[in-house]
Structures are given as C-alpha cells and as structure tokens.
Structure 1
Amino acid sequence: MPAELAPMLTPAQVAERSGLSVPTLHYYEREGLIRSARTVGNQRRYARETLRRLAFIRAAVRVGVPLADIRAALDTLPDARTPTPADWANLSARWRAQLDERIAALTRLRDDLSGCIACGCLSLATCALHNPGDHHGHTQRGGNRLG
C-alpha cells in the first residue's frame, strides 16, 4: 500500500508500539525529531515510518547521544526520510569517537572515585577528584569550590 494510503497511527498507538509516552512523542515533535499530520479535527496522526525513526532515536539516546546531535544527524537524511540500516551505520560511526571519549572519562572518574574512597583525605585543596592539581587554588582567590 502506498505511504499516502497507509493508515496513520494515533499518538496512543505510536506510544504503545514504541514504548515511549505520548508527552515524549510531543516533545520529540517540538524538537523536530519526528513529524505528525493533523486530522480535520486537529488531532495528531503519525505515519507508520515514525516507529522506525523512533527506534533510531531511542537507540542513539540509549548510548548517550544528545538530542541535538540526533536531530542534526536526522536532518542530513534526504526528505526527512526514515533512517535505513546503512544510515545507522554511517551515523553511529560518527558518534563512536565521542562515545569512546566519554567512556574514557567515566573510567577515569570511576578510578579516581575508588582512589578517593581509599584515601579519605576529604581535602578540597589536595583532592585529585574535586580539585585536580589545585586548579581552583591557582585560578581563584579565597576558598575552593566543589566542581
């Protein structure tokens, strides 16, 4: 059946099938991630292809890609079409370096936290976790701050 003749889905149907809430669908629409059409009675309706687009968005969100980056990636697709497996491969390859950097940062944070627990210094002046290299002491006058 051609897309223009395919039955449109209500927000409740899309929510049930995608596992997302209706307010999340509305939020994604406001953010330009998905689109809806309006009935004569001004009710939202979504094309079936929206489910695949939502699956793409959920997968990207699950690995920590910010919505702004997801929107920018989706905007690169011609005619705002639904991402294909090839699109996912290309876009996820772009995000891989960012994810690797975040993983490395979280690993360092975890290791620093383990060291902090063992150390027990609780010193804002010398604590490697809260004030590495006494950065705040060199850049600010007065007391240090957590950050």
Structure 2
Amino acid sequence: MFSSSSFVLQSRTMIHNSVLPLLLLLGTCSASTYQNVALRGKATQSTHVDHNFGDAYSAIDGNRDSNFYSGSCSHTAEETNPWWRVDLLESYIVTSIIVINRGDGGSEYLNGAEVHIGDSLTDNGAANPLSI
C-alpha cells in the first residue's frame, strides 16, 4: 500500500493501475450476504388458529408471500399475550430480523408486537432483551 505522499508522486498510469485493484477489492467486500438461519430453526407459537394454515413453521418457510391464504403466514388464535418464537438450534450473532405482516387484511394483529432476542425461554422468551 502506498503512503499518501508516495502515492501522489506516482505516474498517472501507476495511479490507475493501483486504484483499479482497490476498487475491485472494495466491490468484493461489500457483496457479502448473510444466511437466513431461521430456515433451519424450530418455530412454535402459543396457539393455532382453527384453520388449515397458520402454523408456526409457516413464518420461517422462506416464502415471503403476505397473503394468509397462500399458506405462508403464522397465525395464533385470538388470545391475551399471544407469542411466536423460533429456536435457531445454535447460537448466532443476529444482524437483522425481517418481519412481514399480512398483506391481505388483519395487519393490525401485529400492533404492539415486540421482538426479543436471547436464549431464555422465561415468559416464552419475553424475558430476553428487546430488539431495537
């Protein structure tokens, strides 16, 4: 790597040859993708709505279709303090969480929802730190 004073002294050709590999390297570094570890997890929920669809696993099946009747949404029965959780089966550093709400009506069901991340099952996971 050139120091800033020696870099300035290089010929125009040298500067272009030196910068191009750096740009390629930066492009390679920024192309990182993260694996969705929830796909391998085990999902559970407090109750199940009385319907053919809505089981806990549907929320982590990899399908982002927001229509409940397409079979890829989780749904609990109407109750006080419903919960849904996923056990990732191993410890991970969680860098992002994506929650997709229903797009076919019923989006108010997630009003007041909280996301907690941690290893505790106390209070069905609500004792874990709140994700921001």
TM-score w.r.t. structure 1 length?
Answer: 0.23
The structure, 1 or 2, with the larger RCO (C-alpha pairs under 8 Å, 6+ apart) is: 2
Name the structure with the higher helix share.
Answer: 1
